[in-house]
Structure 1
Amino acid sequence: MMATTSESGTTGDAGGAGAQTLSRGLRAIEILAEAPRPLSIAALARALDVHRSSAYRVLRSLEAHRFVVRDDAGLIRLGPKLTALARGVAPSLTSAAQHPLAELAETVGMTAFITVLDADEVITLASAEPASVPATISRSPGVRHPIDRGAPGHAIESGLTPDAHERLFGDPDPTPAAAAAQRSGYSLTEGEVIDGVVAIAVPLTIAGEPPAAVAVVHFSTPDDVASVVADLHRTADRIARNYR
Protein backbone atom coordinates (compact mmCIF):
# COMPACT_ATOMS: atom_id res chain seq x y z
CA MET A 1 0.00 0.00 0.00
CA MET A 2 1.31 3.44 -0.91
CA ALA A 3 2.49 5.46 2.06
CA THR A 4 2.09 9.17 2.54
CA THR A 5 3.70 11.63 4.93
CA SER A 6 1.46 13.87 7.00
CA GLU A 7 2.23 17.41 8.15
CA SER A 8 3.47 16.07 11.45
CA GLY A 9 6.09 14.03 9.62
CA THR A 10 4.54 10.68 10.47
CA THR A 11 3.84 8.10 7.81
CA GLY A 12 0.37 6.72 7.21
CA ASP A 13 -1.69 5.21 4.44
CA ALA A 14 -3.52 7.21 1.81
CA GLY A 15 -6.86 6.30 3.35
CA GLY A 16 -5.80 7.88 6.63
CA ALA A 17 -4.74 11.09 4.89
CA GLY A 18 -8.00 11.15 2.98
CA ALA A 19 -10.00 10.70 6.16
CA GLN A 20 -8.08 13.55 7.78
CA THR A 21 -8.76 15.82 4.82
CA LEU A 22 -12.46 14.94 4.89
CA SER A 23 -12.60 15.57 8.62
CA ARG A 24 -10.99 18.99 8.20
CA GLY A 25 -13.37 19.89 5.41
CA LEU A 26 -16.41 18.95 7.49
CA ARG A 27 -15.01 20.80 10.50
CA ALA A 28 -14.43 23.88 8.31
CA ILE A 29 -18.09 23.84 7.30
CA GLU A 30 -19.09 23.63 10.97
CA ILE A 31 -16.80 26.53 11.87
CA LEU A 32 -18.20 28.71 9.10
CA ALA A 33 -21.77 27.83 10.09
CA GLU A 34 -21.10 28.87 13.69
CA ALA A 35 -19.18 32.06 12.82
CA PRO A 36 -21.19 35.30 13.19
CA ARG A 37 -19.53 36.73 10.04
CA PRO A 38 -17.39 35.55 7.11
CA LEU A 39 -13.85 34.46 8.04
CA SER A 40 -10.43 35.12 6.57
CA ILE A 41 -8.23 32.20 5.56
CA ALA A 42 -5.99 33.00 8.54
CA ALA A 43 -8.95 32.86 10.95
CA LEU A 44 -10.12 29.59 9.43
CA ALA A 45 -6.61 28.11 9.79
CA ARG A 46 -6.51 29.12 13.46
CA ALA A 47 -9.93 27.59 14.09
CA LEU A 48 -8.85 24.38 12.37
CA ASP A 49 -5.51 24.47 14.22
CA VAL A 50 -3.58 23.87 10.99
CA HIS A 51 -1.04 25.75 8.89
CA ARG A 52 -2.46 28.34 6.54
CA SER A 53 -1.41 26.26 3.51
CA SER A 54 -3.41 23.28 4.79
CA ALA A 55 -6.45 25.46 5.40
CA TYR A 56 -6.09 26.80 1.86
CA ARG A 57 -6.14 23.27 0.42
CA VAL A 58 -9.29 22.48 2.36
CA LEU A 59 -10.83 25.74 1.16
CA ARG A 60 -10.04 25.02 -2.49
CA SER A 61 -11.76 21.63 -2.27
CA LEU A 62 -14.85 23.13 -0.63
CA GLU A 63 -14.92 25.93 -3.21
CA ALA A 64 -14.69 23.45 -6.06
CA HIS A 65 -17.87 21.80 -4.80
CA ARG A 66 -19.52 25.19 -4.06
CA PHE A 67 -19.89 24.41 -0.37
CA VAL A 68 -18.14 27.70 0.43
CA VAL A 69 -17.60 30.95 -1.46
CA ARG A 70 -15.35 33.97 -1.03
CA ASP A 71 -16.50 37.57 -1.32
CA ASP A 72 -14.63 40.45 -2.97
CA ALA A 73 -12.54 40.92 0.16
CA GLY A 74 -11.50 37.26 0.14
CA LEU A 75 -13.56 36.40 3.20
CA ILE A 76 -15.08 32.93 3.35
CA ARG A 77 -18.70 32.02 3.98
CA LEU A 78 -20.94 29.05 3.34
CA GLY A 79 -22.16 28.66 -0.21
CA PRO A 80 -25.78 28.41 -1.38
CA LYS A 81 -25.28 24.78 -2.37
CA LEU A 82 -25.59 23.84 1.29
CA THR A 83 -29.13 25.20 1.28
CA ALA A 84 -30.04 22.70 -1.42
CA LEU A 85 -28.42 19.90 0.57
CA ALA A 86 -30.27 20.95 3.72
CA ARG A 87 -33.59 20.36 1.99
CA GLY A 88 -32.70 16.66 1.94
CA VAL A 89 -32.58 16.51 5.75
CA ALA A 90 -35.88 15.09 7.03
CA PRO A 91 -37.71 16.29 3.89
CA SER A 92 -41.07 14.84 4.95
CA LEU A 93 -40.90 16.58 8.32
CA THR A 94 -39.78 19.86 6.75
CA SER A 95 -42.60 19.71 4.22
CA ALA A 96 -45.17 18.89 6.89
CA ALA A 97 -44.01 21.81 9.04
CA GLN A 98 -43.79 24.49 6.34
CA HIS A 99 -47.35 25.86 6.30
CA PRO A 100 -48.17 25.26 9.98
CA LEU A 101 -45.04 27.17 11.02
CA ALA A 102 -45.88 30.09 8.72
CA GLU A 103 -49.40 30.30 10.13
CA LEU A 104 -48.13 30.02 13.71
CA ALA A 105 -45.67 32.87 13.14
CA GLU A 106 -48.45 35.14 11.84
CA THR A 107 -50.88 34.13 14.61
CA VAL A 108 -48.54 34.86 17.52
CA GLY A 109 -46.42 37.56 15.83
CA MET A 110 -43.17 35.75 16.63
CA THR A 111 -40.56 33.72 14.80
CA ALA A 112 -41.65 30.08 14.76
CA PHE A 113 -39.39 27.11 14.14
CA ILE A 114 -38.98 23.38 14.50
CA THR A 115 -35.89 21.74 16.00
CA VAL A 116 -34.75 18.12 16.02
CA LEU A 117 -32.38 16.17 18.24
CA ASP A 118 -28.89 15.59 16.84
CA ALA A 119 -26.75 13.61 19.31
CA ASP A 120 -26.66 15.88 22.40
CA GLU A 121 -27.66 19.03 20.53
CA VAL A 122 -30.82 20.42 18.99
CA ILE A 123 -30.68 21.82 15.48
CA THR A 124 -33.16 24.12 13.75
CA LEU A 125 -34.73 22.35 10.80
CA ALA A 126 -37.10 25.01 9.47
CA SER A 127 -38.35 28.43 10.54
CA ALA A 128 -40.85 31.15 9.64
CA GLU A 129 -41.02 34.84 10.50
CA PRO A 130 -44.25 36.87 10.61
CA ALA A 131 -44.59 39.24 7.67
CA SER A 132 -46.84 41.54 9.69
CA VAL A 133 -44.24 42.28 12.39
CA PRO A 134 -41.46 44.77 11.48
CA ALA A 135 -38.84 43.49 13.95
CA THR A 136 -38.40 39.79 14.67
CA ILE A 137 -35.65 37.43 15.76
CA SER A 138 -34.08 35.47 12.94
CA ARG A 139 -33.71 31.73 13.46
CA SER A 140 -31.91 30.22 10.50
CA PRO A 141 -32.04 26.51 9.68
CA GLY A 142 -28.87 24.81 10.86
CA VAL A 143 -28.55 26.80 14.10
CA ARG A 144 -27.71 24.41 16.93
CA HIS A 145 -27.18 24.47 20.68
CA PRO A 146 -26.82 21.91 23.50
CA ILE A 147 -29.99 20.08 24.48
CA ASP A 148 -29.64 21.24 28.09
CA ARG A 149 -30.01 24.92 27.13
CA GLY A 150 -33.11 26.63 25.81
CA ALA A 151 -36.80 25.78 25.65
CA PRO A 152 -36.59 23.59 22.51
CA GLY A 153 -33.96 21.38 24.16
CA HIS A 154 -35.95 21.04 27.37
CA ALA A 155 -39.12 20.27 25.39
CA ILE A 156 -37.36 17.60 23.35
CA GLU A 157 -35.85 16.06 26.48
CA SER A 158 -39.27 16.02 28.14
CA GLY A 159 -40.56 13.80 25.35
CA LEU A 160 -37.78 11.20 25.56
CA THR A 161 -38.51 7.76 26.94
CA PRO A 162 -36.49 6.71 30.01
CA ASP A 163 -34.44 4.33 27.83
CA ALA A 164 -33.65 7.05 25.29
CA HIS A 165 -32.84 9.47 28.10
CA GLU A 166 -30.43 7.00 29.68
CA ARG A 167 -28.65 6.45 26.35
CA LEU A 168 -28.19 10.20 25.96
CA PHE A 169 -27.52 11.32 29.53
CA GLY A 170 -26.56 8.10 31.30
CA ASP A 171 -29.58 8.54 33.57
CA PRO A 172 -33.21 7.55 32.91
CA ASP A 173 -34.53 10.47 34.95
CA PRO A 174 -35.11 13.83 33.22
CA THR A 175 -33.27 16.97 34.24
CA PRO A 176 -35.26 19.42 36.42
CA ALA A 177 -36.03 21.65 33.43
CA ALA A 178 -37.30 18.70 31.37
CA ALA A 179 -39.31 17.36 34.31
CA ALA A 180 -40.98 20.76 34.64
CA ALA A 181 -41.79 20.67 30.90
CA GLN A 182 -43.31 17.19 31.33
CA ARG A 183 -45.61 18.48 34.06
CA SER A 184 -46.70 21.65 32.26
CA GLY A 185 -46.60 20.41 28.66
CA TYR A 186 -44.23 23.16 27.55
CA SER A 187 -40.94 24.88 28.35
CA LEU A 188 -40.31 28.62 28.68
CA THR A 189 -36.81 30.03 29.01
CA GLU A 190 -35.24 33.47 28.92
CA GLY A 191 -31.65 34.15 27.93
CA GLU A 192 -30.47 30.53 28.01
CA VAL A 193 -29.27 30.56 24.41
CA ILE A 194 -29.32 34.26 23.45
CA ASP A 195 -29.26 37.00 26.09
CA GLY A 196 -32.65 38.63 26.52
CA VAL A 197 -34.48 36.28 24.16
CA VAL A 198 -37.52 34.37 25.39
CA ALA A 199 -38.31 30.95 23.91
CA ILE A 200 -41.39 28.78 24.35
CA ALA A 201 -41.50 25.20 23.04
CA VAL A 202 -43.57 22.03 23.08
CA PRO A 203 -42.43 18.50 22.16
CA LEU A 204 -43.22 16.91 18.81
CA THR A 205 -42.98 13.13 18.41
CA ILE A 206 -43.40 11.47 15.01
CA ALA A 207 -42.55 7.82 14.43
CA GLY A 208 -39.51 7.45 12.19
CA GLU A 209 -38.24 10.99 12.83
CA PRO A 210 -35.83 12.20 15.51
CA PRO A 211 -37.35 13.73 18.65
CA ALA A 212 -38.41 17.28 17.84
CA ALA A 213 -39.94 20.45 19.25
CA VAL A 214 -42.05 23.30 17.91
CA ALA A 215 -41.02 26.66 19.32
CA VAL A 216 -41.29 30.43 19.10
CA VAL A 217 -38.84 33.14 20.14
CA HIS A 218 -39.52 36.75 21.08
CA PHE A 219 -37.92 39.77 22.72
CA SER A 220 -40.08 39.40 25.82
CA THR A 221 -42.49 37.02 27.53
CA PRO A 222 -45.93 37.30 25.90
CA ASP A 223 -48.82 38.58 28.02
CA ASP A 224 -50.86 35.41 27.46
CA VAL A 225 -48.43 32.49 27.65
CA ALA A 226 -51.27 29.96 27.84
CA SER A 227 -52.63 31.14 24.49
CA VAL A 228 -49.23 30.84 22.81
CA VAL A 229 -48.74 27.37 24.30
CA ALA A 230 -52.14 26.31 22.95
CA ASP A 231 -51.15 27.59 19.50
CA LEU A 232 -47.88 25.65 19.72
CA HIS A 233 -49.69 22.42 20.59
CA ARG A 234 -52.17 22.94 17.74
CA THR A 235 -49.26 23.49 15.36
CA ALA A 236 -47.49 20.35 16.58
CA ASP A 237 -50.70 18.38 16.02
CA ARG A 238 -51.04 19.80 12.49
CA ILE A 239 -47.46 18.90 11.64
CA ALA A 240 -48.01 15.35 12.88
CA ARG A 241 -51.19 15.05 10.79
CA ASN A 242 -49.48 16.51 7.70
CA TYR A 243 -46.54 14.12 7.96
CA ARG A 244 -46.22 11.57 5.19
Structure 2
Amino acid sequence: MENSPAKGPAAAGSQTLSRGLQALELLAEAETPLTINELAEGLGIHRSNAYRILRTLEQRRFVARDDAGRIRLGPKLTVLSHGVAPALHTAAMPVVTELAYELGMTAFLTLLDADEVVTLVTVEPSNVAATISRNPGVRHPVHLGAPGHAIESSLTAAEREARLGSPVFSEAAERAKRDGYAASNDEVIDGVTGLAVPLRLVGEPPAAVAIVHFRMPEPLDAAVAALQNAAARIAQSYR
Protein backbone atom coordinates (compact mmCIF):
# COMPACT_ATOMS: atom_id res chain seq x y z
CA MET A 1 0.00 0.00 0.00
CA GLU A 2 1.41 3.41 -1.02
CA ASN A 3 1.78 6.18 1.49
CA SER A 4 -0.70 8.99 1.03
CA PRO A 5 0.60 12.54 0.51
CA ALA A 6 1.22 14.50 3.67
CA LYS A 7 -1.70 16.59 4.80
CA GLY A 8 -2.48 19.01 7.57
CA PRO A 9 -0.31 21.65 9.26
CA ALA A 10 3.02 20.09 8.21
CA ALA A 11 2.09 20.14 4.52
CA ALA A 12 0.66 23.64 4.78
CA GLY A 13 3.82 24.85 6.51
CA SER A 14 5.98 23.33 3.80
CA GLN A 15 3.92 25.04 1.10
CA THR A 16 4.14 28.38 2.89
CA LEU A 17 7.92 28.04 3.20
CA SER A 18 8.18 27.15 -0.48
CA ARG A 19 6.16 30.20 -1.46
CA GLY A 20 8.20 32.45 0.81
CA LEU A 21 11.41 31.27 -0.83
CA GLN A 22 9.83 31.68 -4.26
CA ALA A 23 8.87 35.24 -3.32
CA LEU A 24 12.50 36.02 -2.49
CA GLU A 25 13.59 34.58 -5.83
CA LEU A 26 11.03 36.72 -7.68
CA LEU A 27 12.23 39.86 -5.90
CA ALA A 28 15.88 39.03 -6.61
CA GLU A 29 15.16 38.56 -10.32
CA ALA A 30 12.97 41.65 -10.70
CA GLU A 31 14.57 44.69 -12.34
CA THR A 32 12.50 47.03 -10.14
CA PRO A 33 10.63 46.62 -6.81
CA LEU A 34 7.32 44.76 -7.15
CA THR A 35 3.79 45.70 -6.14
CA ILE A 36 1.79 43.29 -4.00
CA ASN A 37 -0.33 42.47 -7.06
CA GLU A 38 2.77 41.66 -9.12
CA LEU A 39 4.10 39.47 -6.33
CA ALA A 40 0.79 37.62 -6.02
CA GLU A 41 0.67 37.10 -9.77
CA GLY A 42 4.24 35.79 -9.82
CA LEU A 43 3.41 33.34 -7.02
CA GLY A 44 0.12 32.33 -8.62
CA ILE A 45 -1.86 33.01 -5.44
CA HIS A 46 -4.51 35.42 -4.20
CA ARG A 47 -3.41 38.88 -3.07
CA SER A 48 -4.44 38.17 0.54
CA ASN A 49 -2.21 35.08 0.67
CA ALA A 50 0.67 37.02 -0.86
CA TYR A 51 0.19 39.73 1.75
CA ARG A 52 0.46 37.19 4.58
CA ILE A 53 3.74 35.90 3.15
CA LEU A 54 4.96 39.47 2.70
CA ARG A 55 4.21 40.39 6.30
CA THR A 56 6.22 37.43 7.60
CA LEU A 57 9.19 38.22 5.37
CA GLU A 58 8.95 41.90 6.28
CA GLN A 59 8.92 41.17 10.01
CA ARG A 60 12.13 39.16 9.59
CA ARG A 61 13.63 41.96 7.43
CA PHE A 62 14.05 39.69 4.43
CA VAL A 63 12.01 42.22 2.43
CA ALA A 64 11.20 45.91 2.78
CA ARG A 65 8.74 48.34 1.21
CA ASP A 66 9.50 51.80 -0.12
CA ASP A 67 7.38 54.92 0.33
CA ALA A 68 5.14 53.87 -2.56
CA GLY A 69 4.57 50.44 -1.00
CA ARG A 70 6.62 48.57 -3.60
CA ILE A 71 8.51 45.53 -2.33
CA ARG A 72 12.25 44.89 -2.55
CA LEU A 73 14.76 42.62 -0.85
CA GLY A 74 15.61 43.69 2.70
CA PRO A 75 18.87 44.21 4.59
CA LYS A 76 18.72 40.82 6.34
CA LEU A 77 19.66 39.07 3.11
CA THR A 78 22.92 41.01 2.96
CA VAL A 79 23.84 39.59 6.35
CA LEU A 80 22.90 36.06 5.28
CA SER A 81 24.93 36.32 2.07
CA HIS A 82 28.08 36.72 4.16
CA GLY A 83 27.59 33.14 5.34
CA VAL A 84 27.79 31.79 1.77
CA ALA A 85 31.45 31.14 0.90
CA PRO A 86 32.53 33.56 3.67
CA ALA A 87 36.25 33.44 2.86
CA LEU A 88 35.55 34.19 -0.80
CA HIS A 89 33.11 36.93 0.15
CA THR A 90 35.73 38.58 2.37
CA ALA A 91 38.44 38.35 -0.30
CA ALA A 92 36.18 39.58 -3.10
CA MET A 93 34.28 42.51 -1.59
CA PRO A 94 37.06 45.15 -1.52
CA VAL A 95 38.35 44.11 -4.94
CA VAL A 96 34.90 44.13 -6.56
CA THR A 97 34.20 47.53 -4.97
CA GLU A 98 37.40 48.98 -6.41
CA LEU A 99 36.63 47.46 -9.82
CA ALA A 100 33.14 49.00 -9.88
CA TYR A 101 34.44 52.49 -9.12
CA GLU A 102 37.42 52.17 -11.45
CA LEU A 103 35.24 51.29 -14.44
CA GLY A 104 32.07 53.12 -13.38
CA MET A 105 30.00 49.97 -13.90
CA THR A 106 28.19 47.43 -11.75
CA ALA A 107 30.74 44.78 -10.79
CA PHE A 108 29.99 41.40 -9.24
CA LEU A 109 31.21 37.92 -8.42
CA THR A 110 29.18 34.88 -9.41
CA LEU A 111 29.35 31.17 -8.51
CA LEU A 112 28.17 28.04 -10.29
CA ASP A 113 25.24 26.42 -8.44
CA ALA A 114 24.04 23.24 -10.21
CA ASP A 115 23.21 24.51 -13.73
CA GLU A 116 22.74 28.14 -12.69
CA VAL A 117 24.95 31.13 -12.00
CA VAL A 118 24.24 32.90 -8.68
CA THR A 119 25.55 36.32 -7.64
CA LEU A 120 27.54 36.32 -4.40
CA VAL A 121 28.95 39.88 -4.25
CA THR A 122 27.76 42.93 -6.17
CA VAL A 123 28.68 46.63 -6.08
CA GLU A 124 26.99 49.53 -7.89
CA PRO A 125 29.24 52.62 -8.06
CA SER A 126 27.74 55.90 -6.89
CA ASN A 127 30.09 58.07 -8.95
CA VAL A 128 28.20 57.63 -12.23
CA ALA A 129 24.81 58.84 -13.48
CA ALA A 130 23.25 55.39 -13.98
CA THR A 131 24.03 51.79 -13.06
CA ILE A 132 22.38 48.42 -13.50
CA SER A 133 20.99 46.84 -10.34
CA ARG A 134 22.04 43.28 -9.57
CA ASN A 135 21.14 41.92 -6.14
CA PRO A 136 23.10 39.23 -4.29
CA GLY A 137 21.32 35.93 -4.78
CA VAL A 138 20.00 36.68 -8.26
CA ARG A 139 20.49 33.71 -10.56
CA HIS A 140 20.10 32.69 -14.17
CA PRO A 141 20.91 29.62 -16.32
CA VAL A 142 24.62 29.02 -16.88
CA HIS A 143 24.21 29.05 -20.66
CA LEU A 144 23.14 32.72 -20.58
CA GLY A 145 25.35 35.74 -19.95
CA ALA A 146 29.06 36.44 -19.81
CA PRO A 147 29.58 35.09 -16.24
CA GLY A 148 28.07 31.74 -17.23
CA HIS A 149 30.21 31.51 -20.36
CA ALA A 150 33.34 32.40 -18.37
CA ILE A 151 32.57 29.80 -15.71
CA GLU A 152 31.86 27.13 -18.32
CA SER A 153 35.15 27.91 -20.05
CA SER A 154 37.03 27.18 -16.80
CA LEU A 155 35.67 23.63 -16.50
CA THR A 156 37.40 20.51 -17.74
CA ALA A 157 35.40 18.21 -20.01
CA ALA A 158 34.93 15.82 -17.09
CA GLU A 159 33.74 18.63 -14.81
CA ARG A 160 31.33 19.87 -17.45
CA GLU A 161 29.85 16.41 -17.89
CA ALA A 162 29.51 15.91 -14.13
CA ARG A 163 28.01 19.34 -13.50
CA LEU A 164 26.09 20.12 -16.68
CA GLY A 165 25.41 16.66 -18.16
CA SER A 166 27.64 16.83 -21.23
CA PRO A 167 31.37 17.17 -21.97
CA VAL A 168 30.65 19.28 -25.05
CA PHE A 169 31.34 22.99 -24.56
CA SER A 170 29.16 25.75 -25.99
CA GLU A 171 30.49 28.03 -28.72
CA ALA A 172 30.49 30.93 -26.24
CA ALA A 173 32.62 28.92 -23.78
CA GLU A 174 35.03 27.92 -26.54
CA ARG A 175 35.42 31.60 -27.48
CA ALA A 176 36.01 32.48 -23.83
CA LYS A 177 38.71 29.81 -23.60
CA ARG A 178 40.42 31.24 -26.66
CA ASP A 179 40.10 34.91 -25.70
CA GLY A 180 40.54 34.67 -21.91
CA TYR A 181 37.24 36.44 -21.27
CA ALA A 182 33.54 36.16 -22.13
CA ALA A 183 31.23 38.82 -23.52
CA SER A 184 27.46 38.83 -23.93
CA ASN A 185 24.79 41.22 -25.12
CA ASP A 186 21.01 41.07 -24.53
CA GLU A 187 21.30 37.52 -23.13
CA VAL A 188 20.05 38.03 -19.57
CA ILE A 189 18.56 41.54 -19.73
CA ASP A 190 17.68 43.35 -22.97
CA GLY A 191 19.98 46.26 -23.69
CA VAL A 192 22.64 45.13 -21.21
CA THR A 193 26.17 44.03 -22.11
CA GLY A 194 28.27 41.81 -19.84
CA LEU A 195 31.96 41.05 -19.62
CA ALA A 196 33.48 38.35 -17.37
CA VAL A 197 36.62 36.36 -16.61
CA PRO A 198 36.80 33.00 -14.83
CA LEU A 199 38.03 32.52 -11.27
CA ARG A 200 38.96 29.09 -9.91
CA LEU A 201 39.89 28.64 -6.25
CA VAL A 202 40.58 25.37 -4.45
CA GLY A 203 37.64 24.50 -2.22
CA GLU A 204 35.21 26.94 -3.87
CA PRO A 205 32.72 26.47 -6.72
CA PRO A 206 33.77 27.65 -10.20
CA ALA A 207 33.35 31.42 -10.25
CA ALA A 208 33.59 34.50 -12.45
CA VAL A 209 34.29 38.19 -11.93
CA ALA A 210 32.03 40.30 -14.13
CA ILE A 211 30.79 43.76 -15.04
CA VAL A 212 27.56 44.86 -16.73
CA HIS A 213 26.65 48.12 -18.39
CA PHE A 214 24.50 49.56 -21.14
CA ARG A 215 27.55 49.84 -23.37
CA MET A 216 31.11 48.59 -23.00
CA PRO A 217 34.05 50.80 -23.97
CA GLU A 218 35.78 49.96 -27.24
CA PRO A 219 38.27 48.43 -27.47
CA LEU A 220 37.66 46.06 -24.58
CA ASP A 221 41.33 45.66 -23.67
CA ALA A 222 41.34 47.98 -20.65
CA ALA A 223 38.14 46.51 -19.18
CA VAL A 224 39.34 42.93 -19.71
CA ALA A 225 42.69 43.78 -18.09
CA ALA A 226 40.88 45.30 -15.09
CA LEU A 227 38.75 42.15 -14.71
CA GLN A 228 41.76 39.85 -14.97
CA ASN A 229 43.64 41.94 -12.42
CA ALA A 230 40.64 41.80 -10.08
CA ALA A 231 40.43 38.00 -10.39
CA ALA A 232 44.14 37.69 -9.65
CA ARG A 233 43.85 39.94 -6.59
CA ILE A 234 40.90 37.97 -5.24
CA ALA A 235 42.86 34.75 -5.64
CA GLN A 236 45.84 36.32 -3.85
CA SER A 237 43.69 37.61 -0.98
CA TYR A 238 41.94 34.26 -0.65
CA ARG A 239 45.15 32.38 0.14
Mapped to 2, the partners of 1:216 and 1:14 lie a distance apart of: 45
> Aligned-pair distance for 1:31?
1.8
Q: Structure 1 residues 231, 33: CA separation in 2 closer, same or farther (over 3 Å shift)?
A: closer
Q: Is the 8 A contact 2:114 2:164 kept in 1?
A: no
Query: Equivalent residue of 1:148, what SS?
Result: coil
Mapped to 2, the partners of 1:48 and 1:145 lie a distance apart of: 18
Q: Tell me which of 73, 88, 94 is aligned to 1:93.
A: 88
What root-mean-square deviation, in Å, do the aligned CA atoms of Structure 1 and Structure 2 show? 2.4
Q: Structure 1 residues 74, 98: CA separation in 2 closer, same or farther (over 3 Å shift)?
A: closer
Confirm whether residue 34 of structure 1 aligns to residue 26 of structure 2: no
Post-superposition Cα deviations, 1:70-119, rounded to whole Å, max 9, x if no partner, equal 44554433322222222222221121112222333344343322111122
Corresponding position of 2:57: 62
* TM-score (normalizing by structure 1): 0.84
Q: Structure 1 residues 48, 197: CA separation in 2 closer, same or farther (over 3 Å shift)?
A: closer
Identical pairs, percent:
58
Corresponding position of 1:217: 212
Mapped to 1, the partners of 2:166 and 2:98 lie a distance apart of: 38
Q: Tell me which of 83, 94, 103 is aligned to 2:98.
A: 103
Corresponding position of 2:40: 45
Q: Structure 1 residues 46, 111: CA separation in 2 closer, same or farther (over 3 Å shift)?
A: closer
* TM-score (normalizing by structure 2): 0.85
Work out the number of aligned pairs and report it: 235
Post-superposition Cα deviations, 1:136-156, rounded to whole Å, max 9, x if no partner, equal 434333332221111111001
Mapped to 1, the partners of 2:37 and 2:214 lie a distance apart of: 36
Bigger mean CA deviation after superposition, 186-195 or 232-241:
186-195
Gaps of 5+ in 2: none
Q: Match for 2:44: what amino acid? A: D
Q: Is the 8 A contact 2:111 2:120 kept in 1?
A: yes
Confirm whether residue 199 of structure 1 aligns to residue 194 of structure 2: yes
Greater Cα radius of gyration, structure 1 or 2: 1
Corresponding position of 1:4: none
Gaps of 5+ in 1: 1-9
Bigger mean CA deviation after superposition, 145-154 or 114-123:
114-123
